[in-house]
Amino acid sequence: MTFADNLRQLPSIAHLAALQLLDDAGQVVATIPNQQGKTGSLTVYAALAAKHGGITVAAAQEGLELFAEHTADARQHPGSHPNIDRLLQVIETGQGYRVALVQA
């Protein structure tokens, strides 16, 4: 399945303005806004957080599958897909994130 196919199977994010990733200290380390070019990542991260209770190693592994063809591109071109790079880092380090949803 392609990334577009996977997105169609995930819940709507129309009610969200953004998603914030929080470290262990509760500090916001990243924000994924609901804007063109970021809605796919926001959709994936929101679905992962709902299913896993945050961005855990298991969530990150599932996220790489959901990003489909973009995951291979991210591995070949580090930095070109920061939200996939972040999932790879979670798997590598075992350090996940709590998630705060920002309602629209």
pLDDT tens, 33-76? 999 999 999 999 999 999 999 999 999 999 999 999 999 999 99
Boundaries of domain holding 47: 3-103
Indicate the number of domains in the chain.
1
Q: What is the pLDDT of residue 42?
A: 98
pLDDT in tens, 64-104: 999 999 999 999 999 999 999 999 999 999 999 999 999 99
Cα-based distances in Å from 10 to 6, 35, 76, 91: 7, 17, 26, 22
Q: Band of the pLDDT at 16, cuts 50, 70, 90?
A: very high
Total-model pTM: 0.96
**Tokens describing residue 43:** 């959709």
Torsion, Cα 97 36 62 47, to 10 degrees, reads 70
